[in-house]
Structure 1
Amino acid sequence: MDNNADAVEAKSANAESPPGQDNKTEEPGSASFRSYLLRDRIFTYADPPSWTLNVIALMATIGTGASMPLLDFILGKTVTTFDNFQTDSVDPAKFRSDVAKWALLMVYLFIGRFVLAYVWARRTHFLKQTLRQDISFFDSSSDSVSVQVTTNANLVHTGISEKLGLILQGTATFVSAFVVAFAVNWKLTFIVVAVVPTIVVTTFINMWTDIKQEGRILNFYARAEQLSEEVIGSIRTVHAFWAHPPLTVKYEAVLDLAFQQGKRKILNWGSLYMFEFFSIYAGYGLAFWQGIRRYVSGEIAEPGEVVTVIFAVILAAQAVTALIPQLMYVTKAASAADSLFRTIDRESLIDPMSKSGEHPDDCKGHIEVEDVHFNYPTRPDVKVLQGLNITIPANKTTVLVGASGSGKSTIIALLERWYNPLSGNILLDGKTIDELNVAWLRSNIRLVQQEPVLFMGSIFQNVSYGLAGTEWENASEEDQMKLVEEACKAAYAHDFIQTLPEGYQTQRIAIARSIISNPKVLLLDEATSALDPKAEAIVQEALDSVSAERTTLIIAHKLSTVRKAHNIAVMAKGAVIEQGTHEELLKKNGAYARLVNARSLDNRQNRDEEPEKQVTNAAEEEKPLDRATTTRREGPVDEAPDEAPDETKPTMGYGLFKILRIIVFAIMGSAAALAGGGFPASAILFARAMNVFTLPKGEKMVEQGDFNSLMFFVVALIILVVYFLFGYYTNEVSQFLNRDTRLSIFKDIIRQDMSFFDKPENATGALVSKLSSYPTQIQEFNVSVGVLITSVVNVLASSFLAIATAWKLGLVAVFGGLPTNSIHQNFADSATLAGESVSSIRTVASLSLEKSILSRYEARLATVERKSVRSLVWSLFWFSITQSVNVLVMALGFWYGARLLLFYEISLTQFYTTFTSVWFCGEAASYYFNYTTILTQSARRRELSSLNSDSEGGKHSGADIEASDVEFSYPQRASLKILRGISLQAHRGQSIALVGPSGCGKSTMISLLERFYDPSSGQIIYNKTLIYELCPRVYRSRISLNISLGSSDPSSVTEADIQDVCRKANIYEFISSLPEGLNTSVGVGGSALSGVQRQRVAIARALLRKPQLLLLDEATSGLDTESEKVVQTALDESKKKEGCTIVAVAYRLSTIKDFDCIYVFQSGDIVESGTYAKLF
């Protein structure tokens, strides 16, 4: 990070409110405009070389703008030459000489403008400030980081790069034009300049209003993108419950808020265009009216002065109007910058990148918790820890047990300094942890969470992340590889890694990642809960061995895993109620003894839980890290069930909405077409007005001039109405299309195939970036779609007029300048990294990966920058052509027009008509080519194709499942067979269990039953119908986001229904204890709930569906004994009452004793099957 950025960080820290308090939210727009305009807020991120290049580019931009009015001066001189020739006041030789001289000056001007035009940020700081925030920020933040680092950063980048250049260019043109006009004839200039204040005042009033409205719109879109990020990140759950309809409705409701806010800009846009173009056309009439009168009176020496003043002043007015779309980008950039700066300016209460705090030379690992009280910031009224006291001796193993919600995981969160306690102290080796440097503290503590997170990349990269902040962080890859291999062997992960080219097992890799740095303190939050018995025994043995010389704190529900612990603390309601060794606590016959007795840890239980016979290490197949949905494969189906919602039936309201939208489009298109017709009409009036100067001075010239000036005013009145409709309906259409495009892309994304989500380029961050950026780009196109229609009409009409008036000159001028411009940059890859890092912020914080992620992020942005240089140079070449070719075309037109005039092939009126038509044609074409990039981006929308899910499914009351010779390989690992000829069956009302070691194919079988994938060969039959012939929506409605989303018809769910399933899932008491009860927000991705609480909610929503087929993939593995019994009873009742079929994946054999059939998986095959009594 450069010194300038560090200065900004210091300034940001000083500007923040006191610790523990966030700044009050300012009115959108007010803070943003101020933040955006302050140079030291935006441009401090530029290093000296960037400053030098920026200064050169800005000077060239100003030079480009300042050179434009020089053309008006040359044009005036050329018009005088043509008029003198027409009135026989100059001989043909001098006429040719003068025309050649002025044409040559135009060529020189073209060369100068070309060179100047050719000569013609940082996201990293935002991500850095985001990563350094304390966890409470992420618990309560509603903004999507993927959107912040893509859409908002793009808006700011656009606003301070090319748009700023265009604004400076327009400003330079404005100033230079008035200098030329006043130098030529200051009296006429003072008269004509009356049109400028009207344009300037209306522009800035509308811009200021637009800033505030745009800020509110961006806030709504941030909420929409945050929701989409959560939905896409949980895509398996979305498809498992076919929750597309309710989630789409929820997403659409947020978009509607933005849409309604956007519609308030209608009057702004209508009045903006109305006054702008009325003033220009009225200005033409005023200029000619006064110019001709003063020419007749002798105050003006030659006709060229009138033309120069007119074109210079109008050019100044047009420069202001050209600033309007650029200023619109500035207003968006201002609002986006405000959002970015709110995060950048927020002072983290616990800064992981701060250098403050002590760095002790050694860490022994002795931990003391003294009278700690704590409430989560998002739920301040719910007491979590109440005077907690506990001692965790160094180099000993301490285990925390107790019911879910007793505060066990909260202790780990406080030890990691994700939060600060409200009162009390936590000491490490006699020092309070808030005295210690955060990075040092976390580098000496390693955590394996109940739900571990792996980042996109190889196994080596994921495990080596555990070296962050240690002496081995910058070791050679060879040395790191040795450490990775040793850690993987210790975590029982090395053998399965060798069998897979790209395989992984999340829990074991997370364990390897945590022990690779040989930490002094090891925190295990149900670290072995997802492992099979054999793997658990071996990993537990490895953990026991690596825990020998370190402090280990374990959270466990499986009491059999904590017998050897040196110290066991039993927690209840945020306090320790018992503490001692296993034997000591059993003798007390208290809470711990009751937990042990409930688990029945006798010899029979131990025998039930001992591992099954295994032949070899199985090929790993655990659930992929990416998300997935069904494959696109449709076939004939039966009649749909009556209760299935009809998603395709049109309604009267929707039909009227479509008709209304068509009417709006038609009005906007018609207004734009009429507006485009104003240009050729002006060309004709210009030609007639300039031809008046060839008449003899006197009353006839004045009379003809007055008439032409009046015609300009009539056109201005027509334009007044047309452009009001144009601006009004342009905004209407742009808001319609932005909303509909976002909604359409959202629907398309969440209906994609499993293989679509398995691809690395379709990670959550990348998809959210596309969902945000594509509609924004399309809206940018549609905001100007009226301008494009106007431009097309203008180009065609002006071209036809030029060719029809003087076809030789028209052909030469029209086809002499048709340049184009195109450039595109894609930051989806970097957005993926940023979004992934923030969504897994607890893992990032516990491993102290903030600096590592920033380095990777900067490297990815640098790669994008390098790849864009070549295309940028080529694009700048074409941009310089578009900015200067009109001058060259004018030179060619004047030279060739002079030849035609000299030989009397055209009249002066024909020349002026053709010339002004081509002039307007060129301006319109330049508008069109400025939007080719946006046109290209809008075409990218077609990349996402929709999955047809509206066909009907069969109507059945039962759930018979049969799999025959099923083989399967994941699309991303096609060479590796996961299932090898699996055959099994389950009849209505039966329960079957899938057991076996990790990686044997159990969870893959569940994925196939969910239709996340289709088999590579073989078939799965549901109620005598191949499941790929069933409609996914109807099929999944029979299988069993938050609780009400579990129902096929969420609107019909009553509060009593929800309370009932919550009691069955043993979570109702916890929910009732919350201040808002069932209305309590669970946070982004359920972050406000513990892993066990989230598991209970998931069970509740599955029960609410009353499914015909219930799939359980270790559904009760993380529950405490009491909760497991309650949930197991509820599942048994559901089986008896609803007659549902149950397919369960289980490691804990005691939970499946009463199942009708148990299938033992090994290496992707079934090695034996039968009842519990038969097998054991």
Structure 2
Amino acid sequence: MLRGKRRGVPCHGDTINAFVAPVNFDEVHKAAWNFLWLAFALFATGYGSFTCFAITAERQMKKMRCECLKHIMYQDMGWYDQRDMSELASRISGDTVKIKEGLGDKLGEALGYFCQFLSGYIIGFSKGWNLSLVMACVMPLMSVSIGFLMKRMRESTARSQKAYAGAGAVAEETIGAMRTVASLNGESRAMAKYPANVAEAETVTIGVSKFVALAFGWVFFLMWLTYAFGLWYGGWLVSKQNQIIPDPRTVLSVFYGILLGTLAVGQIGPNVNAMSSAKGAATALFNILARKSDIDASDMSGEIPPTCEGNIQARDVHFTYPSRPEDPILRGYSLTIKKGETVAFVGASGSGKSTLVALLERFYQPTSGAIYLDGRDISTLQLKWLRSQIGLVSQEPVLFAATIFENIAPGGDNISRDQVIAAAKLANAHDFIMGLPDGYDTMCGEKGATLSGGQKQRVAIARALVRQPKILVLDEATSALDNESERVVQDAINNLMTHTDMTTIVIAHRLSTIRSADQIAVISKGVVAELGRHDELMRLENGFYRSLIELQANAPTVKDGHRPVEEYKRHVLMASEDGHGKALSDRKSSSASQASVGKSIEYVGTVEKEVKLGRIFELTKPQRLFFVLGVIASCLLGFSMPGISLIISKIISDMNLHFAAFVNSGTKDLTPLSTLYDSVANSSYIFFGIAVAILVASFVQTYTFRVIAEKRSQWRWKDITLDGRDISTLNLHWLRSQIGLVGQEPVLFVGTIAENIASGLSDSVPSTDLQERVEEAAKMANAHNFIMQFPDGYQTQVGLKGEQLSGGQKQRIAIARAIMKNPSILLLDEATSALDSESEKVVQEALDKLLAAKGRTTIVIAHRLSTIRNADKICVVSGGRIAEQGTHDELLRLNGIYTRLVLTNKKIG
């Protein structure tokens, strides 16, 4: 404020008077000293203003980000289900920056200019009220214009920020799933989807920019109108020898005071613009801060029992997900689990098996009914204590971008390194961890990208075991492990349950792993349809559990001889030993280092190169007309302010004016920038021997596959061909269009089920019968029935990364997407691992018919050997090499690695 007042000090009238002939050197020296002291004052106040506001804004942004993250983390899961998590992340990072700008130097400058406006007008009215009043008559118009501008900016900022946050979510989702995008040749669709999401923000912001330009032009027009009228009226008053304005010195004092005050109003505009944007951005964040979660994990109230035994009881529980209130999941769910028991849940995908676990952890609140722990309603217990008694290992393991030790240790409080190592040994993770260069200090990468699926799962199991919970929940915990690792982990878990009174809940599709459970609960349509031990349920005629067992018992077994070659053109399968041979989808680079859309998924480091200004100008070619017009207008606007000196020089000989440069209030068109981001200077690279899709191609059709042995840490490839052609000479888009990939962890995109299935189509395919083709693909993948059970059917939103669907449902949609692509080569990387027995059988039959009819080449990567015994060729991968290959019978006669895997598989079964 002091900085603003100093700008209105009435030194200029005295200075001008001192230069009037004859020159009064005493007055000139006095005026010079006044300007010197003014310079020191402006330095001190300017430094203090910018420093204080910058510190305050940075601290406010830090505090706001922490509070927003805290409130988001403590919200209930129902709130998450109805929101896009990527959009929330964009708001925390982007909106808080806007708020910081509005609270920082922009606020300081606005206050300074406001004080300059006040001081200027006070001086003007005190020297000559009549001239000041005439010059100030346009101020109401200027005030109304700026006020209306602020209102429009607040409204537009909220809308544009929401649209840009959605676009940011699309970009994050696409880049995070680049392997899936590349396998679908979906780069062009992703590039088309992003501009579509920013179109609304572009329209809103361009419209507001036009209004802002009009408002600023109107303000400048009024300012210059004020100058012209003031000079004319002041001269008229002097000529009439008015007592209030007796001489030119008074006219100049009044004129300069009003001039500085009016200039301040014009320069407040850009700062007010930033403050209005900050207010609009703050609206969404404060809505988050103001929301009270129905299940608040930060609430330390509630009962804390002295001990936890692990007795669980569900009484007539009904539940509906908040995102799908019309689709009930549990319909009168009742079950009792005694302490120390092992209870297994089986049933079709989406039947509600995992829902009880979510309710037990209090991720959601039952619609009606209650769940009791040791006779106490869990809603009365302290949430932090309740969750500390439960160890959860989910079907899709989630690791953080930290070391392996730091990923295991958060499972409990004050965990020592010895405890982490002990838990890792129980989970059969210690050996592979010690085989890594940095051991337990190895970085896992973004979402565990540097580890294979089985390794991630074992780390997640160790994290659950390290706290020694009273209740252990295994939600398909061993589904990603190879046979030997699964046996060791299962033995360790069984040993742990034998020597402790831990209550264990197992959710599984593979029924051979749950036969020894104390109770087996068969879930169907949201109720417990059957309950009992394995033998008891097998005695039920036409029982659901018995039918599931019979389905798995009829799985493919060892047969003599081979199937006719014409049944499948080629059917190649790969088995891995002890996790040394990774599944293709597990060969990941860090997601932070993945290339942008349209580039190879390769990494060795980001090449940074300075972008020249001429390169940026080149990218503005599509908007060159607007760019040139904007530059010309800006220059004219800048020249107009110094031009006033030519007018005032007739009254004074030396008066300096300062003016803030043209402020670009427009919007950035993001579409042309895609070229810049796709350039070499902003791309990343991986220099390793074999790319995922190319490795697939090298195995299929011609079997030409030769790999040079490992030399230090680098790999090289040689002679990888498809139909006798070197794949490096083939069109990459065509090559990937020939391959259909279904990964171990299915990746779905934000949108409807129909849109996700249809993404398997190429861009050139006509969409006249699109819905029929989508439904046909879904039927072949055994997905049509569960899709039609949703109220919106194929128009059901899947959520971020398919979070609205169960694991089996997501996998079936991914299979339908691959079928929709109609590829010549089909790669199934544990494609049926997430399906229940009945769904797996139906889907496998559909795939078999598809392969037999079309003669496709197929690669199956599997740990379950029962699904690959009838393959034309089986390749056993060990230590990164093909150790054995042949048919099932040929490999058994070798009595090698494959034989050992088969024997291990029989022991597990």
Q: Normalising by the residue count of structure 1, what TM-score does the alignment of the two structures yield?
A: 0.64
Equivalent in the alignment of 2:739: 1039
Distance 1:680 1:171 in 2: 23
SS of 1:1099's partner is helix
Equivalent in the alignment of 2:635: 673
Whether 1:1147 and 2:863 are equivalent positions in the alignment is yes
Deviations 1:145-167 (A, max 9, x none): 22111110111111112222112
Residue 1028 of structure 1: CA displacement? 3.8
Size of the alignment, in residue pairs?
798
Distance 2:677 2:654 in 1: 61
Distance 1:340 1:613, change over 3 A: closer
Distance 1:1130 1:685 in 2: 87
Equivalent in the alignment of 1:272: 215
Whether 1:74 and 2:5 are equivalent positions in the alignment is no
Equivalent in the alignment of 1:401: 346
Residue 756 of structure 1: CA displacement? 11
Distance 1:632 1:183, change over 3 A: closer
Equivalent in the alignment of 1:965: 707
Contact 1:630 1:752 in 2 (8 A): yes
Equivalent in the alignment of 1:507: 457
Residue 360 of structure 1: CA displacement? 1.0
Whether 1:566 and 2:308 are equivalent positions in the alignment is no
Whether 1:529 and 2:229 are equivalent positions in the alignment is no
Distance 2:884 2:480 in 1: 23
Instruction: Pick the aligned partner of 1:131 from 51, 67, 73.
Output: 73
Equivalent in the alignment of 2:130: 187
Which amino acid letter does the alignment assign opposite residue 29 of structure 2? A
Which amino acid letter does the alignment assign opposite residue 1088 of structure 1? Q
Distance 1:376 1:631, change over 3 A: closer
Distance 1:522 1:745 in 2: 50
Contact 1:634 1:1030 in 2 (8 A): no
Distance 1:171 1:1032, change over 3 A: same
Distance 1:527 1:63 in 2: 66
Contact 2:759 2:817 in 1 (8 A): yes
Deviations 1:620-647 (A, max 9, x none): 7854473376799999xxxxxxxxxxxx
Contact 2:482 2:578 in 1 (8 A): no
SS of 2:304's partner is coil
Distance 1:557 1:1055 in 2: 31
Equivalent in the alignment of 1:784: none
Distance 1:415 1:625, change over 3 A: farther
SS of 1:540's partner is helix
Distance 1:666 1:112 in 2: 41
Residue 104 of structure 1: CA displacement? 1.9
SS of 2:488's partner is helix
Contact 1:235 1:750 in 2 (8 A): no
How well do the aligned residues superpose, as a CA RMSD in angstroms?
3.3
Equivalent in the alignment of 1:1110: 826
Contact 1:244 1:750 in 2 (8 A): no
Contact 2:341 2:518 in 1 (8 A): yes
Residue 1075 of structure 1: CA displacement? 0.9
Distance 1:314 1:968, change over 3 A: farther
Contact 2:482 2:577 in 1 (8 A): no
Contact 2:127 2:254 in 1 (8 A): yes
Distance 1:217 1:631 in 2: 24
Distance 2:798 2:37 in 1: 68
Residue 617 of structure 1: CA displacement? 7.7
SS of 2:859's partner is strand
Equivalent in the alignment of 2:383: 438
Residue 314 of structure 1: CA displacement? 1.5
Deviations 1:258-310 (A, max 9, x none): 11222332452233122211122122212221222333315334433322222
Distance 2:410 2:549 in 1: 38
Distance 1:311 1:1118 in 2: 78
Contact 1:288 1:689 in 2 (8 A): no
Residue 619 of structure 1: CA displacement? 8.2
Contact 2:157 2:281 in 1 (8 A): no
Distance 1:748 1:429 in 2: 62
Distance 1:520 1:159, change over 3 A: same
Distance 1:565 1:540 in 2: 13
Distance 1:509 1:218, change over 3 A: same
Deviations 1:418-455 (A, max 9, x none): 11111111111111111111111111111100001000
SS of 1:569's partner is strand
Whether 1:387 and 2:340 are equivalent positions in the alignment is no
Which amino acid letter does the alignment assign opposite residue 418 of structure 1? F
Q: Structure 1 unaligned runs (5+)?
A: 1-61, 468-472, 636-656, 694-722, 758-954, 970-974, 978-1014
Equivalent in the alignment of 2:538: 586
SS of 2:469's partner is coil
SS of 1:1161's partner is strand
Output aligned runs, 1:988-1003, within 5 Å.
Answer: none
Which amino acid letter does the alignment assign opposite residue 774 of structure 2? I
Residue 256 of structure 1: CA displacement? 1.0
SS of 1:269's partner is helix
Equivalent in the alignment of 2:906: none
Contact 1:463 1:484 in 2 (8 A): yes
Equivalent in the alignment of 2:789: 1073
Equivalent in the alignment of 2:88: 145
SS of 1:384's partner is strand
Equivalent in the alignment of 1:923: none
Distance 1:756 1:160, change over 3 A: farther
Distance 1:754 1:355 in 2: 48
Distance 1:140 1:596, change over 3 A: same
Distance 1:184 1:525 in 2: 83
Residue 397 of structure 1: CA displacement? 0.6
Instruction: Pick the aligned partner of 2:29 from 100, 124, 138.
Output: 100
Deviations 1:889-942 (A, max 9, x none): xxxxxxxxxxxxxxxxxxxxxxxxxxxxxxxxxxxxxxxxxxxxxxxxxxxxxx
Equivalent in the alignment of 1:1159: 875
Larger helix share, 1 or 2: 1
Distance 2:29 2:493 in 1: 91
SS of 1:270's partner is helix
Residue 1099 of structure 1: CA displacement? 0.8
Distance 1:1088 1:742, change over 3 A: farther
Contact 1:579 1:585 in 2 (8 A): yes
Instruction: Pick the aligned partner of 2:671 from 740, 763, 768.
Output: 740
Residue 388 of structure 1: CA displacement? 0.9
Distance 2:173 2:197 in 1: 14
Contact 1:396 1:550 in 2 (8 A): yes
Distance 1:750 1:518, change over 3 A: farther
Deviations 1:659-682 (A, max 9, x none): 883333333233223223323432
SS of 2:539's partner is helix
Whether 1:249 and 2:192 are equivalent positions in the alignment is yes
Which amino acid letter does the alignment assign opposite residue 461 of structure 2? I
Equivalent in the alignment of 1:375: 320
Which amino acid letter does the alignment assign opposite residue 285 of structure 1? A
Distance 1:519 1:1133 in 2: 46
Deviations 1:6-55 (A, max 9, x none): xxxxxxxxxxxxxxxxxxxxxxxxxxxxxxxxxxxxxxxxxxxxxxxxxx
Instruction: Pick the aligned partner of 1:236 from 179, 182, 190.
Output: 179
SS of 1:419's partner is coil
Distance 2:190 2:654 in 1: 68
Distance 1:566 1:745, change over 3 A: farther
Which amino acid letter does the alignment assign opposite residue 256 of structure 1? A
Deviations 1:974-1014 (A, max 9, x none): x657xxxxxxxxxxxxxxxxxxxxxxxxxxxxxxxxxxxxx
Output aligned runs, 1:171-320, within 5 Å.
Answer: 171-296=114-239, 297=241, 299=243, 300-320=245-265
Distance 1:1066 1:313, change over 3 A: same
Distance 1:412 1:238 in 2: 33
Percent identity, aligned pairs only, is 34
Equivalent in the alignment of 1:493: 429
Distance 2:217 2:557 in 1: 87
Distance 2:411 2:491 in 1: 21
Distance 2:596 2:70 in 1: 39
Output aligned runs, 1:1002-1151, within 5 Å.
Answer: 1016-1040=716-740, 1041=749, 1042-1049=756-763, 1052-1053=766-767, 1054-1151=770-867
